[in-house]
Amino acid sequence: MNVFKRVLFSVLSRAYKIYSTKTRNYNFRDLKLKVLPGVFHPGFFFSTKFLISHLDKYDLKNKRLLEPGAGSGMISVYSAKKGADVTASDISLSAIENIKINALLNDCSINVVYSDLFDSISKQEFDFIIINPPYFPKNPKNESEFAWFCGSEFQYFEKLFKQLKDFLYPQTTALMVLSEDCDIKKIKAIANKNKIEMKLIESKKFLREENFIYQLHLNKN
């Protein structure tokens, strides 16, 4: 991240912290959402909307979909309304409550699980696994910071890829969104260590920031 972006991020972070102290309403397409205090707001960032735009390419009807770290549940709600059988999880109790609220607001059914990544997800086959990860290398100090920081030693990705390989079946489409502002080289190294290949399948620039969607495969070599 260059100096300009660091300064801008610092200013926006302060403003966002103030804004996110209250419950906010947010509409996207035909989705009506509430975002609780401390829960990642999908309207302020490009990653969630980018993933949803990419998911438009797939037929989700009757597909089993998992979203670990679902936050407000916007992707899960979108997927459920497209006919998917959705499981959404999060390490934040506020996010768990938020997902349930947004499922009710949009009249859809979502299996909501309190879980640190895959810890409380029973071994099963999913057709889709959708990941919008925290990627700034800093140790989270509280529940809300788990949406932003992956740990000073990238502990989030170490755990993610170690667990994810047990859920990657030949028919599984696993997608992860990242930004040019994160250490993609380091994240790829952790994936490779766990025999997972990250294949770039789409990129898009939002306000001069390049965003990428990777498909995750088991590397059997």
**Residue 92: is its pLDDT beyond 70?**
yes
Q: What is the pLDDT of residues 20-63, one digit of tens each?
A: 778 999 999 999 999 999 899 998 889 999 999 999 999 999 99
Task: Give the DSSP H or E segment for 128.
Answer: strand 128-131
User: What's the domain range around 28?
Assistant: 3-218
Give the CATH number of the domain where residue 190 resides: 3.40.50.150
Q: What is the pTM of this model?
A: 0.92
**Which candidate, 61, 63, 22, places its Cα nearest to that of 41?**
22
Structure confidence at residue 144 (pLDDT): 85
Q: What is the pLDDT of residues 108-123, one digit of tens each?
A: 999 999 999 999 999 9
Structure confidence at residue 14 (pLDDT): 64
What is the residue-averaged pLDDT of the chain? 92
Q: CB-based burial of residue 54 (10 Å sphere; 0-12 exposed, 13-18 middle, 19+ buried)?
A: middle
Q: What is the pLDDT of residues 133-165, one digit of tens each?
A: 999 999 999 988 889 899 999 999 999 999 999
- Give the chain's domain count: 1
